[in-house]
Structure formats: C-alpha cells, structure tokens
Structure 1
Amino acid sequence: MSPKSRLYTLVKAWKNKPFQEVRDACGAPWLGLSSQALEEHQSWSKRQAISHEPIFNCKGTKLTGSLFRPLLAATDMQLLRLFMEGLDTISYWYQGGRFIPGILPIPTHALASAEYVDAFSDLILNSRLPVGLVALGMQSLPEKDLADSCKEGLLRMRRLGVLLHLINFTGEPEQLQWAQEMQMEGIHLDMNQLRDQEISHDVLAKIRRSPYSPTQIYASNVALVKDLENASNWQIDHCYGGLMMAPISRHQMLQINDSRIAKAIFSLHPHQHLNPNGDK
C-alpha cells in the first residue's frame, strides 16, 4: 500500500470521530515517526508554532482572516497532516469565541486529485465548522490536461461551503478568467508587484467591473506606509505583511484586539494634526 493510500484510509476512518482526535493521530505510526519523534512533535504543538499570518481590512481596523503559512511549502506526505492542523486551528478559534476565517493554501495537483479531494471533504465535514470559516487557497493554475479535474475539485469544495481563493495572482488573463469563471471569493497579489507596476490598475478595475462580483482583493507583503496608502487608493479589501503584523501562534491570534491594532497602524499614517480646540 502506498503512503498516499495509507493517508486516505486513515482520513476515511476518522469520518465519524470527534475532530479533536486529529492532534493525537498526527503522530501515529503510519507517518513513520518513532516514539521520540512523536514526543518532539507533541512538544512542538505545545510551543504553539508561529504559523499564522493575520489578515486585516485595508484600514487595519478589523482582523478579517488568517493565512496558514506551513501549507505553502508542504510536501505530499505533509499535506493532509498540515491540512488537519489548519482545520484544527480554525476550530480552536471558533470554540474560543472568535469567527476568524482561515485560508489553507493547497497545491494545484492535489485539487485535481479525486483522492485528495475526497480526503479534504471528509476532514472538512468532520470539523463541523460553520460555512465561511474555511477557504482553500489555489496556489497556481493547473496544466491544461488537469484543468477540468481541478475545476471539478474546486466545485466539490464549494458545495461544502468552502470559500475559494487564488494565491499568487499576477494579473495574467488566464488567472483573471479562472477567478471570474469559478467566482472566487479572493485573489491574492503581491504588493511588491503593484509597487513595481508589474500589475496594472486596469486588471484591478476588471475584477471590480461587476458590482455583483464576489471577488475581494488581498495584498500580501505590505511592508511600507506607502503600501497602505496605495492599498486604499486602489480599493484593495484586505492587507497582510510585516507592516500589519508578523506571523503569530494560534493562541496569540485569539488575543488580537482590533482596536489596539487599528491604533498602532493609524499612528503610521501621515495625517493632519489637530490643535487643542479640535480644529484642523
């Protein structure tokens, strides 16, 4: 039996079990971990890895989501375990009284695989999370021979109430077509590319052409005060990066106070000072 088959068999076996068992199962022998490695993994979990990048609205007045960074570089053997971990974290926030949507980046070949999509579906259903809390981040467009399978995988995810995002958006016409055809809820572009004018404002205008479009724009790598001004001028909906807040642990995410963050970000904006009488 291949490693992928063992992963899929285990996921199927969890369908009717409480979702909290994911943490215990992550170190099970099927992963090929020794008892020492299992202890190290559990210790790592307790230390609360710095894995979650907070996302805010453009003005920094509200926490709007989180990007689970470990999935960006996950291998096939790590993919399902990290996906479980991401879902478990969203559930942790939800049980802690915070409605924080989590974006879980997934490689395209996994979205085109019926086995992986079956596994993702089982895990999402088993999490019992409300609609709108789980988003899949498609990391790139598929090869032409995988396009139909990938679209089918995305549609299956949507039928479960999962939001669809396109990561690493560069403004290519094919990417724009996918975003519009699949009615993706979010596209993520790099602020460095906007800064260097590698993405034209016309592309952003096309995304907003229809007032009924569900697609919102996310800007990553926001690092300069000027980036926030540009994000506002270009009507970008969400921002994340070093200027907003560095990646944090899942427990720290619960402690984010929107008003404190907004005050800190507002202090970076050039703004007119008021005199003691309150006039400009």
Structure 2
Amino acid sequence: MSPKSRLYTLVKAWKNKPFQEVRDACGDPWLGISSQALEEHQSWSKRQAISHEPIFNCKGEKLTGSLFRPLLNATDMQLLRLFMEGLDTIAYWYRSGRLIPGILPMPIHAIASSKYIDAMSELILNSRLPVGLVAVGIWSTPEIDISDACKEGLLRLRRLGVLLHHLNFTGNVDELRWIKEMQMEGVHIDMKQMREHVLASNVLSQLRESPYSATQIYASNIGLINDLENATSLIADHAYGGLMMSPVSRHQMLQINDSRIAKAIFSLHPHQHLNQNGDK
C-alpha cells in the first residue's frame, strides 16, 4: 500500500468515527460524563423536550437561530451532557438540510476551566459541524481572578470556529470593554429590562463602531408589542421571546416555515392602536 493510499484510509476512518466516541475524551466523573449519563442523554433526546427557543430577524421574516435553554440552569454535573445534546441537535438540523445556528450558554467558571474547555473542544471537533453554526454564550463578565483563564478559554473555542455571544448586556463599562476586547459576534439585550432602564445611544454606537462591525444585536425576552417596537428602535438584528414564539422541540424547529411565521405572528405590524401597557 502506498503512503498516499494509507493516508486516505486514515482520513476516511477519522471522518466516519461515530459521534459518541467523544465519551473517551471527557470521561472524568466530576465532569458529568459516564455510561449512566450517556444512557440518560439518549433517553432525554428521545423525549423531544421543548428546549429550543427560536430566534428570528427583527421583522420576523426569517428564522435565524436557536437558544438552547436547558444550559441556562444546568448544574456542573449536567453541563457537558447538555452541551453534547445541543451540538447533537444542531447536527440533526444540519443533516436534515437546515442551517440553524445554535447558541449554547455556558457559565463563566466552566469557560475558565481548562478541563471543561478540553472536553468542549473534543465535542465540537467530533461534531464536524460547519463554522458559524455553533455559538457559545456567556451570561456575565468574569471576575478579575479568572479573567485571563476565561479569555484563554474563549480564544480556544474561537480557534475552532465557535462564535461568541454575551447573553445579558446591561450597558455598563466593564461589559462594553469585555465585548470589544473579545470581538464578540452577538450581544443580547433584555427588552423587559429596557422598559425600566433605557440604554444610552452612545453605548449602542460603541457596540457597532462601523457599518462593517461583526457584532449583531439580539433583542431577548420579547413579551409585549412595545418590546418589539423598542427592538426595532435599537435597530436590533435578531429578536426572540414569548411574543415571537415559545420554545419548541428540535423536530418542531425543522417545521418552522419562515414565510408562514411572518404572516401568522407578525401580522401585528404596523402597531397603530396601543394602550399604555403596549398591548393591542
């Protein structure tokens, strides 16, 4: 056998390696990966949990992504199992012919842990998903003592083609500095909080320093028509929340038809007759 043909055989074997083989790479019991956990993972997947929050463009004309909600409240023992489930779902959509980017929230202390990043990296590499379909979201800026470790963790993920999102931007200086330093692709602004605290226009302009900025604005927690109007005034790129659509299962996500959603849910536009609560 020639060296070239041996190389072909090795590459082909690597390409066809089953997704579940990643269990060998992150088998530390404290990381939450065990044979029992994997069995629970498989049965959990079969139940088709209502876990994926659809994200649309601000006009509601197109499905642009999904937020994997179980990771928002996961314990340390659940993190990698749920991260694997999130990747598996994005791969399921991809195999079904839909390019639906998925945002997988992770806590700061996990991003600052080399063991978690090692395991996450193995999972991402083994999923073989195209660049741009996987995003990791963080909920807050890191404390000073873990700032460097967190930065290193995020940079390692970025080198794998993972997009970075800040999931709870409130407009303070430390958040803005962190977002700009890490050149995050997504910044999420809670519209419910915006009812009480309006962001200064200069803060938003700093998020988008130029028309060619890669940073996208996500308006989250849209519950009232007034929230949708505030998102439009922010020139948000994406929006999600109860008014847009409630969380769905991964199979239901495939059934979302962009034009149908635009007609059924966003027939609320334009909003002429509003009361003081922002309702029709």
TM range (shorter): 0.7 to 0.9
Q: TM-score, normalised by structure 1?
A: 0.83
- 1:42-191 map, 5 Å: 42-191=42-191
Q: CA–CA distance in 2 between the matches of 1:210 and 1:195?
A: 27
Please report the TM-score for the alignment, with normalisation by the length of structure 2. 0.83
1:85-144 Cα deviation digits (max 9, x unpaired): 000000000000000000000100111111111111111000000000000001211110
How big is the shift at 1:223? Answer: 1.0
> CA 1:21–1:261 in 2, change beyond 3 Å: closer, same or farther?
farther
| Deviation at residue 202 of structure 1 after TM alignment | 2.8
- Give yes or no for contact 2:108–2:142 (8 Å, CA) kept in 1: yes
What is the distance in 1 between the residues matched to 2:161 and 2:116? 17
Q: Distance in 2 between matches of 1:243 and 1:74?
A: 25
User: In the alignment, is the contact (CA less than 8 A) between 1:20 and 1:88 conserved in 2?
Assistant: no
The aligned residue for residue 265 of structure 1 is 265
Which residue identity does 1:261 align to in structure 2?
A: I
CA distance change for structure 1 residues 21 and 255 in 2, over 3 Å: closer, same or farther?
A: farther
Q: Which moved more, 1:198-207 or 1:184-193?
A: 198-207
What is the RMSD of the two structures over their aligned residues, measured on CA atoms? 2.7
User: What do residues 185-206 of structure 1 show as CA deviations (whole Å, max 9, x unaligned)?
Assistant: 0011100122222433332122
Identify the residue that residue 224 of structure 1 maps to in structure 2: 224
Instruction: Give, in whole Å, the separation in 2 of the partners of 1:66 and 1:91.
Output: 13
Which AA in structure 2 matches 1:264? Answer: A
User: Which piece of structure 1 moves more, 253-262 or 201-210?
Assistant: 201-210
Provide the residue aligned with 1:254 in structure 2.
254
- Stretches of structure 1 that go unaligned for 5 or more consecutive residues are 1-13, 273-280
Counterpart of 2:215 in structure 1 is 215
Q: Which amino acid aligns with 1:67?
A: L
How far, CA to CA, are the matches of 1:41 and 1:157 in structure 2? 23
Gap runs ≥5 in structure 2:
1-13, 24-28, 273-280
Amino acid in structure 2 at the alignment position of 1:222: I
Contact 1:193 1:199 in 2 (8 A): no
